[in-house]
Amino acid sequence: MDITKFVQLSLGRWRSQRSAHHLAFAHFEQVISTIDIVPLASDDADVIALCKSYEIAPELATDPFRMTWEGESDWEEEEISQGTTILVPIPDPNEPQKGKLLRDRGYAETIPSVGNYQINEEGVFSLLTPYDRAMAEEKIWFCGDNVRFRVSLIKTSAGSGVVTASFSSEIRSLNEKKS
Amino acid sequence: MDITKFVQLSLGRWRSQRSAHHLAFAHFEQVISTIDIVPLASDDADVIALCKSYEIAPELATDPFRMTWEGESDWEEEEISQGTTILVPIPDPNEPQKGKLLRDRGYAETIPSVGNYQINEEGVFSLLTPYDRAMAEEKIWFCGDNVRFRVSLIKTSAGSGVVTASFSSEIRSLNEKKS
């Protein structure tokens, strides 16, 4: 599994079932959402702009993509959570299983972020993203071509305490296009 | 991380927050439980009996332990789920990061089971347990000494489809002893 294969497997529409555990209060949150992941061209203007904002040469980017989600949480029933973000992998030239992942809007804070990813020999993609006041740690792996799992931890910025842990089960939707 | 270190970190009382995703129906289940993990002596009669039932020499066993749980599910509100099981690691003499895990009662079926475990270089303990009509796949890892996470997948016995995926966030309880 390399980053190209990982992104290719990720492309498409996913039905996501997510549970968040707010650890201090043993509180549960449940979200059902639809996630669309579509490839972007390497010369896409937004991809180039994102690379430049981190002073990274755009030709180092590989397999950029856009992720769009729309979900309903049982916690804030009135609110439909939705968003879109561009993600740009920048593989490490010396260690192709590692690299940086640029995104124009993060999970934990609504600002751009850059994380460090690594893909292990079991095919688990791990991503560590430091934010100003928090640290996000994600693990994503596939189970066959049509099921993927995602564990996201939000830690205090020192990395010592886990604040929120969430788990997503994602199933590829046969209905690829939104009606 | 080896099996001895893994078992030692696991010992104690844990408050567990578990979410199960029944994938076909996008159904959620939530369980709060208390888990106690206590070490057993190598010459414990139950440990020896379990080894013998699998025709494994008891002196190959290392760090046997008992796990006891008591939980409340939001799905079966009337019912308090509880149970206890003995677990006996049998490390592979040639590859110490791998081995068998015997248990006298499994998750997926109420019969004894033997699974194959492996601990990777990131410290993730993976366990694959075949049952008659299902296959269970677990990943357990620590985040510091006092937090651990557990992902359990129940698959069809052919291993092709995931039926249930569950995620547990477990926090070490400071109140080690039950009052």
The pLDDT assigned to A81 comes to 81
Return mean pLDDT, chain B.
89
Residues of chain A under the 70 pLDDT cut: 75-79, 106-110, 158-160, 175-179
Domain boundaries, given as residue ranges, for chain B: 3-172
Could you tell me if A160 lies within 8 Å of chain B, comparing CB atoms?
yes
**Per-residue exposure over A65-95, b if at least 16 CB sit within 10 Å of its own CB, e if not:** bbbebebbbeeeeeeeeeeebbbbbbbeeee
**Nearest CB to B151: which of A15, A120, A151?**
A151
Residue range B3-172, CATH number: 2.40.128.20
- Contact criterion met (CB < 8 Å) for B149 and A144: no
pLDDT higher than threshold 60 for residue B35: yes
CA atoms within 13 A on the CB side of B39: 14
Which residues in chain A are closer than 8 Å to B162, comparing Cβ atoms? 143, 147, 169
Which residues in chain B are closer than 8 Å to A146, comparing Cβ atoms? none
CA angle B122, B126, A92 (to 5 degrees): 35
ipTM value for the complex: 0.89
pLDDT band at B174 (very low <50, low <70, confident <90, very high): confident
Strand partners, B84: B68
The pLDDT assigned to A179 comes to 42
A40-54, B8-22, B110-124: least confident range: B110-124
The pLDDT assigned to A160 comes to 66
A positions 94-153 inside 8 Å of B (CB) = 120-122, 124, 126, 143-144, 147, 149, 151, 153
Give the integer Cα–Cα distance in Å for B31 and B26.
17
pLDDT in tens, B47-105: 999 999 999 999 999 999 999 999 877 766 666 788 889 999 999 999 989 999 999 87
Which residues in chain B are closer than 8 Å to A126, comparing Cβ atoms? 122
Q: Encoding tokens for residue B39?
A: 């070490």
Q: DSSP labels for B79-148?
A: PEEEEEEEEEEEE-SS-TTEEEEEESS-SSSSS-EEEEEEE-TT--EEEEEE-SSEEEEEEEEESSSSEE
pLDDT in tens, B125-143: 999 998 888 899 999 999 9
